[in-house]
Chains A and B, each alone.
Chain A
Amino acid sequence: MKIDNVPLDLLIPNMLSATVYVIQIFILTILLSIPLGFLVALARRSRFKLISVPTRIYQLVFRGTPLMLQLIFFMYGPYYIFGFSFDRFTACIIAFTINYAAYFGEIFRGGIASIPKGQYEAAKVLGYTKLQTFMRIVLPQVIKNVIPATGNELMTLVKDTSLAQVISIPELFRVATNAGSKYFSTVPIVIAAVFYLVMNTVVEFAFKWIEKKFDYYRN
């Protein structure tokens, strides 16, 4: 079947396998950057300047420069500096993880800061240890607070996977633009748009569902 001279029966399977890259980047980035983001948030709250200041600088650098540039840096930088390089996919995951952990760090830091002082004080007077207070009282409320912002971030992540093309990862956007120029058609681009939209609709619904799960109380 062809639309606008584009052989869909050839293109669609290619785009589907390119989508596997999108999903891989998406899932690996979530699994690595969310825990790392929590550490970043805790490091930012540290009393020790030796920990909080460098963390802040790291966040500024990675939120203040293009992710595309960071991808190129992790792909080609290590060779110039250390004489070795990561394979493409590893470099890609490292760049995404470090970039997103900087953003998640900021979201989680805000989430932790939004817990009223009275919660800590009530817990302390009841005899909870610092660790118990964090795990039992603070963290569950932080998770609820950061769900909307996290969902937002993950929708951006789905779209940001298209940046991996700059280090020649054969992900969806790259496959679509290549096919577009090969067949002189915008059809592959439109199909890619539909693919991204479907994935983000799933993310959106998943997060609405999670938000609802946490709706049983208000702060």
Chain B
Amino acid sequence: MLLKAENLQKQFGNTIVLKDISLEVNEGEVVAIIGPSGSGKSTLLRCLTQLEKVDKGRINVCGKQMVETIQNKAVYADYKTLHDIILDVGLVFQNFNLFPHYSVLKNIVDAQMNVLGIAKDKAKSKAMELLTKMNLKDRAGAYPCELSGGQQQRIAIARALALNPRILFFDEPTSALDPELTGEILKVIRSLAEEKMTMVIVTHEMSFAKDVADRVIFMDAGVIVEEGTPDAVFSNTINQRTKDFLQRFSQE
């Protein structure tokens, strides 16, 4: 098991955003998280990638304990462990968050060199390999502002992959894109799934979730309401809230 989160709780001020979330992800698995706006999907991903701190619960990533709850309080691991854990995960944001002052190549090379200490030549060839895979080899010298949203997102994926994460998280990777550009991103994610990359994907693309995910999680109001194979969740929906959500979605 690569990721095991138990009984996560998180609140912002008085709003409880994650109520009691438990989640496991196995190696090579693709998990899709769906749910209405404000249900806590992003917050969950941000807690798993250390961008937010949980109030309670336990998280274990690749066998390393990131946080546990002692006497009702979340206690995080030491800096070194947290840093090691961050290297095991990658995150692709909705709005890419590329470094605008770095060229495409440098975006992918910089962390390899300065975080992992990889030599320049090696980092570069790795970057070119990834750019080839993303079909963007000829844009290595461009700056992010010169690229379309779809191209920027592919660079962001390459940047994350360059550090060899064991789990890759996506937070609505296509939501900021024009509809005609979402296809190219979904294609990349699909090919990663074929390579057995472990991925957790928050998405509003239901048909994509249906055919790429091994498991689908439906979240609402900070709890996991329904969870199962795509078939079970989409076709044999048990829970009424899930039914309502999927129905609203198919009407849109």
A residues near B, CB below 8 A? 116, 118-119, 121-128, 132, 136-137, 140-141, 144, 216-219
B91 nearest CB neighbor, chain A only: A125
Question: What is the CB-to-nearest-CB distance from B192 to chain A, in angstroms, rounded to a whole number?
Answer: 17
The answer to whether A144 and B101 touch (CB under 8 A), given A126-B115, A127-B115, A132-B114, is: yes
B100, A218: Cβ atoms closer than 8 Å:
yes
Q: Given A136-B110, A144-B101, A219-B100, are A122 and B93 neighbors across the interface (CB < 8 Å)?
A: yes
8 A Cβ contacts from B74-99 to A? 83, 86-87, 89-91, 93, 95, 97-99
- SS class, residues of chain A in contact with chain B: helix
Bound-complex Cα distance A119 to B49 (A): 15
- How far apart are A110's CB and chain B's nearest CB, in angstroms? 18
**Which residues in A have their C-beta under 8 angstroms from that of B101?**
140-141, 144, 217
Q: Could you tell me if A124 and B111 are in contact, using CB atoms closer than 8 angstroms?
A: no
Chain A residue at minimal CB-CB distance from B110: A136
State A216–B50 Cα separation when bound (angstroms): 33
A118-B97, A137-B99, A217-B101 known; A125-B86 Cβ under 8 A:
yes
CB of A115 to closest CB in B, whole Å: 10
Q: With a CB–CB cut-off of 8 A, which chain B residues contact A144?
A: 101
Q: For residue B90, give the distance in angstroms from its CB to the closest CB of chain A.
A: 7
Do A127 and B51 form a contact, CB below 8 Å, given A118-B97, A141-B100, A217-B100?
no
B208 at the A interface (CB under 8 A)? no
For residues 137 through 194 of chain B, which have their beta carbon under 8 Å from a beta carbon of chain A?
A: 143-145, 159-160, 163
- Chain B stretch 98-133: residues in CB contact (< 8 A) with chain A: 98-101, 110-111, 114-116
Residues of B within 8 A of A122 (CB): 91, 93, 97-99
Q: Which residue of the partner chain A has the closest CB to B95?
A: A118
- B81 CB to nearest A CB, Å: 13
Report how far A141 CA is from B145 CA in the complex, Å. 14
Q: How far is the CA of A141 from the CA of B90 in the complex (A)?
A: 24
Closest 4 CB pairs of A and B: A122-B97, A118-B97, A127-B115, A218-B145
Decide: A126 and B100 in contact? CB cutoff 8 A.
no
A residues less than 8 Å from B100 (CB atoms): 141, 217-219
With a CB–CB cut-off of 8 A, which chain A residues contact B115? 126-128, 132
Complex Cα–Cα for A140 and B49 (A) = 26
Closest Cβ of chain B: how far from A126's Cβ, in Å? 4
Contact B97 A127 (CB under 8 A): no
In the complex, the chain A residue whose C-beta lies closest to that of B79 is A129
Contact A124 B95 (CB under 8 A): no
Question: B163's contact among A116, A118, A126, A217, by CB below 8 Å, is which?
Answer: A126
Question: Which A residues touch B144, using CB under 8 A?
Answer: 217
* Cβ contacts under 8 Å, A141 to chain B: 100-101
Of A118, A127, A141, A217, most B-chain CB atoms within 10 Å: A127
- The reply to whether A125 and B90 contact each other, CB–CB distance below 8 Å, is yes
Greatest chain A CB density within 10 A among B89, B99, B116, B159 is at: B99
Complex alpha-carbon distance, A152 and B160, angstroms: 40
**Could you say which of B86, B93, B143, B145 contacts A127, with CB atoms under 8 Å apart?**
B86
B83 near A127: Cβ-Cβ < 8 Å: yes
Contact A119 B143 (CB under 8 A): no
Give, as a whole number of angstroms, the nearest-CB distance from B136 to chain A: 17
A30 to B83, CA, bound (A): 39
| B51 interface neighbour in A121, A128, A216, A219, Cβ under 8 Å | A121
15 pairs of residues in contact across A and B, judged by CB atoms under 8 Å: A121-B93, A124-B86, A125-B51, A125-B91, A125-B160, A126-B115, A126-B163, A127-B116, A128-B115, A132-B114, A140-B101, A141-B101, A216-B143, A218-B145, A219-B100
Question: Which residues of A have CB within 8 Å of B93?
Answer: 118, 121-122
Residues in B with CB closer than 8 Å to A121 are 51, 93, 97
Q: In the complex, what residues of B have CB within 8 A of residue A116's CB? A: 97
Contact partner of A125 among B49, B114, B143, CB < 8 A? Answer: B49
15 further A-B pairs in the complex, CB-CB below 8 A; given A125-B49, A125-B91, A136-B110: A121-B51, A122-B91, A124-B51, A124-B86, A125-B50, A125-B89, A126-B111, A126-B160, A127-B86, A127-B163, A136-B114, A144-B101, A216-B143, A217-B144, A218-B145
